[in-house]
Amino acid sequence: MTSSAIRPDTDPALRDFGGGPFGIYVHVPFCATRCGYCDFNTYTAGELGTSASPGSWLAALRGELAAAAESFAALPSPQPDVSTVFVGGGTPSLLGGDGLAEVLAAVRANFTLAPDAEITTESNPESTSPQFFERIREAGFTRVSLGMQSAAEHVLKVLDRTHTPGRAVAAAREAEAAGFDHVNLDLIYGTPGETDADLDASLDAVLAAGVDHVSAYSLIVEDGTAMARKVRRGELPAPDDDVLAARYERIDARLVSAGLTWYEVSNWAASDSARCRHNLGYWDGGDWLGAGPGAHSHLGGVRWWNVKHPARYADRVAAGGLPAAGWEALTAAERYTERVMLVVRLRSGLPLDDLDAAGRAAAHRIVADGLAREVRGRMILTARGRLLADAVVRELLT
């Protein structure tokens, strides 16, 4: 892999590309403010100054997509139709409805979308409106994921979130009114100061919104973030593992009773069609192109990642080719490890035939310990196993 092209002649693993679903991820690096817990590749206007803007980013994105499409034409396998598009960030909704329509137009100008393609954008409730949802639905988006985090104002304040507690539910209803059949709300649980009553209020709000998908993630204090510095100084307590486990069980019970079923450890859906197909592509070891600053790609066992800073990203694209900062061809052992780590988290379960002899022996021990069930040759986590998913992975890979 070079920074300027996808090279099947020098990267033989790329010859495996094209055998399954293919997605495109577009990274929007802009945020109005920086949340204290976030370690994503995002930038506020003050941090960027005059070095980059949504306009320069969009121009570079068009160039990267065109260069990628040209490089794909050199691959031995025909370029498959794009089955999913996911616009994430950052805060994609800061681009506005017209800006997101231009992003999707740039994808369509260089790639062929499948007739039933799932097209998702993340959005911050505060930068949406009925007109925003109507515009992106008209442009072809089929799914919206809204960052809610919590319905408790004091919890949002600890997370440095700027939206008001009721805005996420209102935005979900606006999206549904605009014609979106698939709307997700994201929750974060275990924030310092959050109580059981706070979590219940958040779940009440989610269920009142009538969305068909919910993602719930335990708070992780990432090194280098403002929250990590507060924890280190003793200004905030670190999340408690026992509290996190109890909160997860509370979330699962409420969502299941409302008709949403887990299909990945942190994700629940009202039906098979409500599941996020793009993320399933990641978890199933699929192929995708990541476009935008810092975005990662994976094709046929080869992975590469773009330069992070928007200004440097735009400069690299302007110089010609793809703005890759580095790449790696995964070994068979690395691909095995990644498959175990990801597929074990799915409700569909990990096929025992995918495991080596040591892994199958470990799987039988895990089932005997009550952390998983064996169903038609697959190992599926139990409720307790989901709480200990990382430990299950370690056992399988030991």
DSSP per residue, 335-373: HHHHHHHHHTTBTT-EEGGGS-HHHHHHHHHHHHTTSEE
Check which CATH number belongs to the domain holding 341 and give it. Answer: 1.10.10
**Whether residue 157 has pLDDT greater than 70:** yes
- Asked if the structure places residue 197 within a domain, the reply is yes
Q: Are residues 166 and 43 located together in one domain of the fold?
A: yes
Q: Are residues 41 and 130 located together in one domain of the fold?
A: yes
Task: State how far the Cα of 318 lies from the Cα of 63, in Å rounded to an integer.
Answer: 7
Q: Are residues 349 and 280 located together in one domain of the fold?
A: no
**The pLDDT of residue 51:** 83
What is the per-residue pLDDT across 15-30, written as a single tens digit (0 to 9) for each?
A: 556 667 899 999 999 9
**The pLDDT of residue 44:** 85
Residue pair 269/75 in contact (Cβ under 8 Å)? The answer is no
Mean pLDDT of the 207-232 span: 93
pTM, full prediction: 0.94
- Asked if the structure places residue 308 within a domain, the reply is no
Q: What is the mean pLDDT of the chain?
A: 92
Q: Are residues 213 and 342 located together in one domain of the fold?
A: no
- Asked if the structure places residue 72 within a domain, the reply is yes
**Number of domains observed in the structure of the chain:** 2
- Asked if the structure places residue 77 within a domain, the reply is yes
In which domain, by residue range, is 384 found? 331-397
- Asked if the structure places residue 301 within a domain, the reply is no
Task: State how far the Cα of 239 lies from the Cα of 221, in Å rounded to an integer.
Answer: 8
Residue pair 213/146 in contact (Cβ under 8 Å)? The answer is no
Check which CATH number belongs to the domain holding 203 and give it. Answer: 3.20.20.70
How far from chain centre, in Å, is Cα 113? 20
**The pLDDT of residue 8:** 42
Report residue 11's pLDDT band, with 50, 70 and 90 as the boundaries.
low
- Asked if the structure places residue 355 within a domain, the reply is yes
- Asked if the structure places residue 41 within a domain, the reply is yes
**The pLDDT of residue 15:** 57
